[in-house]
Structure 1
Amino acid sequence: MADFQSTTRFSDRVDDYVRYRPDYPVALLDWLQREQGVDRHWHVADVGAGTGISSKMFLDAGYRVTAVEPNAPMRGAAEQWLRRYDRFDAVDGRADATKLADASVDLVTVAQAFHWFDEVAARREFARILRPQGLVAIWWNSRRLTGTRFLEGYEALLLRFGTDYTSVAERYADDAHMRVWFGAGYRGSASFGHGQRLDFEALRGRLMSSSYAPQAGHPQHEPMLQALRELFDNCAEDGTVSFDYDTRIFAGQPV
């Protein structure tokens, strides 16, 4: 079985992660507020917060956010980036041991990180830190694999050069799995289109932010970048390609 080292595998990719990873559609937050009753007076625990992309979305909307992140370089990047927000703090914690007090938060959010968690231990920890009637919201940007020459070529590139791409991709849960995880506490789901327009520098950074992309010194690194350049040149329109996602969100109570 692969050793995914989920708390450390992004440590040497932080700069690319900060600059080139996508954010999340504002429609996602609108849905939480409109359909799930989430209120800006709620205290949010952003678990597996990484560099703070999801935390910033809530901070911009006026929420109080505590980022929970075990990876020191990523947590440090979040603290640096979000330091101007008075309602932000960060803790060195994990999904199964957040270090937050019992019944201390109203909403647990997990963005692009659920596939790294021990799901049973995380549900138990989320139930501990949530106040009565609190919610869990879990989402991720799911890259579209087909539909354009670029998307299909990019998927082929990852399958060819990614160090453990298939193993990581298989960790993402489907809708049925998420309903089972929430069980009787399941409250609903939604999907939103999202995307980035990337020039070649940004596309390269987006690729290198992925934990399965071989880095400099690896025998596949240069061939991968050459293939990426060829793919970009063949598919770019007006100097960019469209990197398209479907953002899937699931909400409920961890009962």
Structure 2
Amino acid sequence: MNDLHSTARFSDRVDDYVRYRPDYPSALLDWLQREQGIDAGWRVADIGAGTGISSKMFLDAGYHVTAVEPNAPMRAAAEQWLHAYDGFKAVAGTADATGLAGASMDLVTVAQAFHWFDEKATRHEFARILRPRGLAAIWWNSRRLTGTRFLEGYEALLQTYGTDYTSVAERYADDARMRAWFGAGYRGSASFEHGQRLDFDALRGRLMSSSYAPQAGHPKHEPMLHALRELFDACAERGTISFDYDTRIFAGHLA
């Protein structure tokens, strides 16, 4: 999405992204293998791979992964982190112009990045690079907005201090929209509980990894961190808070 400079807006947040963004639950890969029939012989294209969090999940399970990422600092971070895996390769490309050969992939994955993509152009490109009856799987960690004092306070903090939080948050697709995107090839969805236990430094880093968190020098930056400290102190148990998610995945064919 050019209006939000989606391919560049994380460039100055890479260190926090690497250290503090959550991974994905092992149950997600179990579901893909058990319910969707994928296995380690499948060639994976991880689109919008960022720093490689989702790529690592597949690499650890023995898959070969091509990470497609347009942001050079994030792609470099992935290469530095994952270079020891023989099955890993990172390339510059976007969701609608991956640069990958036609019918060259068995599985196309998108973790957390789908809301930045042009959905129509992306679907056409994924269909092009997938082999016949290949699978696309799209998922994200959806932060819980209610249920605990911390979760509700954190959402209020973002509403108050986030630079473009509302416009970014509204880009997440709901179930009906994802089913429509897959169309007749839709194969199923699942949801898994996930979370992080964070001390204050990790919570601060998790916040600052978000593209809508104002950076140092912005008039909202210091007030935001002060509010975060107050929220943490009010909610922490034994020096940490629980940052809770529901990890939602959708899978299907695109032919």
Aligned to 1:28: 28
- Unmatched runs of 5 consecutive residues or more in structure 1: none
What's 2:79 paired with? 79
Distance 2:184 2:149 in 1: 42
Query: Which residue does 2:88 correspond to in 1?
Result: 88
For 2:166 and 2:233, the matched residues in 1 are separated by: 26
Change (3 A) 1:110 1:2: closer
Match of 2:216 in 1: 216
- The letter of the residue matching 1:84 is A
Query: Residue type of the partner of 1:16?
Result: D
In 1, the alpha carbon distance for the partners of 2:57 and 2:121 equals 26
* Secondary structure at 1:194 match in 2: strand
Q: Which residue of 1 aligns with 2:12?
A: 12
Residues in 1 aligned to 2:3 and 2:41: alpha-carbon distance in whole angstroms: 40
**2-side partners of 1:6 and 1:161: how far apart?**
20
d(CA) in 1 for partners of 2:2, 2:38: 38
**Residue of structure 2 equivalent to 1:205:** 205
2:158 corresponds to:
158
Name the residue aligned to 1:120.
Answer: 120
Matches of 1:236 and 1:106, distance apart in 2? 44
Please, what TM-score do these two structures have when normalized by structure 1? 0.99
1:176 aligned partner? 176
Other structure's SS at 2:5 match: coil
Across the aligned residues of Structure 1 and Structure 2, the Cα RMSD in angstroms comes to 0.9
For 1:80, the aligned partner's letter is Q
Give how far 1:133 is off: 1.1
What residue is the counterpart of 1:132 in the other structure?
A: 132
Amino acid of the structure 1 residue aligned with 2:30: D
- Cα deviation, residue 223, structure 1: 0.1
Match of 2:228 in 1: 228
| One-letter amino acid of the counterpart of residue 253, structure 1 | H
Q: Give aligned pairs, total.
A: 255
How far apart in 1 are the matches of 2:115 and 2:223? 29
Measured after TM superposition, the shift of residue 242 of structure 1 is 0.1
Partner of 1:45: 45
Report the Cα distance in structure 2 between the residues aligned to 1:76 and 1:175, rounded to whole angstroms: 33
Q: How does 1:89-104 map to 2 (within 5 A)?
A: 89-104=89-104
How far does the alpha carbon of each residue in 1:79-124 deviate from its partner, in whole angstroms, 9 at most, with x for none?
A: 0000110100010000000000011010000000000000000000
Aligned residue identity for 1:24: Y
Q: CA deviation at 1:165?
A: 0.2
User: CA 1:105–1:2 in structure 2 vs 1: closer, same or farther (change >3 Å)?
Assistant: closer
* Percent of paired sites with the same residue: 84
Runs of 4 or more off by more than 6 Å in structure 1? none
Secondary structure (helix, strand or coil) at the match of 1:3 reads helix
Alpha-carbon shift at residue 159 of structure 1 (Å):
0.1
Residue by residue over 1:28-53, the C-alpha shift from the partner in whole angstroms, topping out at 9 and shown as x without a partner, is: 00000000001110000000000000
SS of equivalent to 1:254: coil
Partner SS for 2:110: strand
Where does residue 189 of structure 2 map in the other structure?
189
Deviation per residue, 1:135-172 (Å, 9 max, x gap): 00000000000000000000000000000000000000
Aligned partner of residue 101 in structure 2, secondary structure: coil
Superposed counterparts of 1:58-77, under 5 Å: 58-77=58-77
Using the alignment, how far apart are the partners of 2:229 and 2:243 within structure 1? 15
**Deviation, structure 1 residue 2:** 8.7
Question: What CA distance in whole angstroms lies between the structure 1 residues aligned with 2:127 and 2:162?
Answer: 36
d(CA) in 2 for partners of 1:2, 1:147:
35
**Equivalent position amino acid for 2:142 in 1:** S
Where does structure 2 lack aligned partners over 5 or more consecutive residues?
none
